[in-house]
Amino acid sequence: MLRILQFLYSLRSFLLFVLLEVLAIWLIVANNSPQGAAFFNSSTAVIGSVLNTQSEVVGFFSLAEANEALLAENAQLSEELKILRLAPDSIQIHLDSAFAATFEFTGARIISNSLRFAQNHITLNKGEKDGIKPGMGIFNEEGVVGRVKSVSSNYAVAISLLNTGLLISSKIKSNDAFGSINWDGKSSRQAKMLYVPRHVTALVGDTVVTSGFNAVFPEGIPIGIISSVNQTGDPNYLDILVDLTTDFSKVRYVYLVENTQVNEQDSLYLQSEIQDEF
Amino acid sequence: MNFKRLITYSFLVLILGLIQVLLLKNIALFGIAFCFIYLLTILSFPTTMAHIPLLLISFGIGLLIDVFYDTLGMHALAATFLAFLRPFWLKIISPIGGYDDTTDPSISEMGIGWFLTYSLPLVFAFCLVFFLVDQWGTGGVLNVLNKSLFSTIFTVILAIIVQLLFFKRRRGI
């Protein structure tokens, strides 16, 4: 018995090494499920405030660009508002629940972003106090950005679209064929569109938008433009490459969207025994 | 390790850690060459440092960087691996007569050739583990090797520059 203990003692640094590596692997695995419990990340108060200060300093230099983007979006919104605003002599009809507002929007600023890894994350400067919840969709005026993973009271961490673990339900705008957008970990400007059957005619130049099926994003938020369609690889599905419309190296101000009826939809799925398939 | 050295090393960890997470986090030359300058702290601990504190400190530093990178565990895993290899590699490349008690594995004491033989394989081992974990499941072995090789070169070049500019010829012992 003593000799076993002596033997183990002589191996103590190797054993400690193995223990630490197992701990690290456990952390990686526990932290990698898209909605998993992330308990220790950049949404922690101290680290969040450091990143916030850094982004404020860096952000000062891109204020002009941010202003321009806001101006462009304001112009577009006021154009749309002109159509929606009722003329004084028109009749007002109450619409049914199909058209009731199911989505709520909030704005936030990105304080930390990465795009060079296979699993990229984004930190936002708003958290639980501002009504941010895990699972909310993130987009900006250019297109889809990601999805919130976990929140603390002042900050939130999101999975970027540039993360091989994130699938976004999407469709080709011209013919409504739906599939899933998934990043392949290669270029930060391109992603793959999966599960589009071979009979669908997908053309280079077609726009890909969110489908609104997974109750995270409303329908019609741009994602990208098809840059190549191939019939190689999988015998059932097309191999579609999409140029992302969002420039992830420049994204700073984003909108968060929450589906207020997601609980109702989820409980309905549960009732009819449908798993979330996206 | 006396108190003054302890302060020096804490200062080094803090400064290089801050530079890593605030300046170098999003820098990738040509999209493949990353810089992990904080490894210089683990590389420049005294040669006679015991295994167990070295492993624990490296794990801690890795975890700290991880928290800022949102890659919980990845830096810790790779940095611990580097710390595990370090004593063995130091033994293999030890000069005739061995190291004395106060030898620092730095350019000013050991020369640039020795430092290259010392740091290149260790940093490469770190990069290999890091990018293997990062690219796990994406099936790009060539991509992993490519990124590891160029990140190693970039990191070591920057480590040499930092040492030449900021490390005193004889750190106060």
Q: Which two tokens stand for residue B1?
A: 């390790």
Supply B78's token pair.
């790779």
User: Could you tell me the two tokens for A266?
Assistant: 């989820």
pTM of the entire predicted model: 0.66
Query: B56: number of CA atoms within 13 Å, CB side?
Result: 7
Other C-beta atoms closer than 10 Å to the C-beta of A95 total: 7
- Best of A9, A11, A14, A17 to disrupt the B interface (most B CBs within 10 Å) is A17
User: pLDDT higher for B126 or B46?
Assistant: B126
Q: Over its length of 278 residues, how does chain A's per-residue pLDDT go in tens digits?
A: 788 888 888 888 888 888 888 888 888 777 765 444 455 566 667 777 778 888 888 778 778 878 878 877 887 787 777 667 656 665 655 555 555 557 778 888 888 888 878 888 898 888 888 888 888 889 888 889 999 988 888 889 899 998 888 888 899 988 888 889 999 888 888 899 888 888 888 889 999 998 877 778 888 888 999 999 888 777 888 889 999 998 888 888 888 888 877 777 778 778 887 765 54
**Residue B100 corresponds to which tokens in the numbers above?**
């004395």
CB spacing of B22 vs A157 below 8 angstroms: no
Tens digits of per-residue pLDDT, B81-122? 999 998 888 888 877 777 776 677 878 777 888 888 888 999
Cβ pair A118:B136 closer than 8 A:
yes
Nearest to B70 among A23, A41, A184 (CB): A41
Whole-angstrom Cα distance, residue A169 to residue A255? 18
Q: Facing residues of A194 across strands?
A: A180
Residues B117 and B139: their CA atoms lie apart, in Å, by 31
A135: left (phi over 0), alpha (psi -120 to 50) or beta: left
Q: Spell out the alpha helix ranges (H) of chain A.
A: 2-10, 12-32, 45-59, 63-84, 262-271
Judged by CB atoms closer than 8 Å, whether chains meet at A20 and B55 is answered as yes
pLDDT at B124: 92
Helices (H), chain B: 3-22, 39-43, 51-69, 74-92, 107-110, 112-134, 141-166
B140 contacts: CB under 8 Å, gap ≥ 6: A185, A186
Show which residues on chain A lie within 8 Å of chain B, measured between beta carbons: 12-14, 16-17, 20-21, 23-28, 31, 38, 40-42, 44, 47, 50-51, 54, 112-119, 121, 123, 157, 164, 184-186
